[in-house]
Amino acid sequence: MKYIEIDYVDEEGYCRSTGFCVEMDTNEKTVAAFESLRAFGAPFSGVKYLADLYDAFGNLIDTIPISENTFRCITGGLAWSDRFYVNHTIRTILQAA
């Protein structure tokens, strides 16, 4: 199944996991949800969040840059600091090892 992940772009330009990942009931619904983000897309330069669409094998299909406000609306959560996302990424890697 296709799924959407949202990553944070830190001050050095590295992508960090936000922990947000969603998969709808069908591929069609997932793609429709992803495509609906285009209306809220932001320019790539200076953007802090990237919405990524992946296929069932984890291959990146497409990316939409989104603003912090859009991220907050999508996740219903707070936008955290660079330090938080760096630490979250490290914890995720350690858990997978």
Give the domain ranges of the chain.
Answer: 3-96
pLDDT tens-digit readout, 13-30: 888 888 899 999 999 999
What per-residue confidence (pLDDT) applies to 26? 98
pLDDT tens-digit readout, 63-96: 999 999 999 998 887 788 777 777 777 777 778 7
Cα–Cα distance for residue pair 40/55, rounded to 1 Å = 22
What's the whole-number mean pLDDT along residues 58-67? 97
Cα–Cα distance for residue pair 53/23, rounded to 1 Å = 10
What's the whole-number mean pLDDT along residues 35-53? 93
Closest by alpha carbon to 7, among 26, 22, 25, 20? Answer: 20
Closest by alpha carbon to 23, among 36, 32, 10? Answer: 32
Helix (H, G, I), strand (E, B) or coil at 40: helix
Q: Which helix (H) or strand (E) is 32 found in, with range?
A: helix 27-36
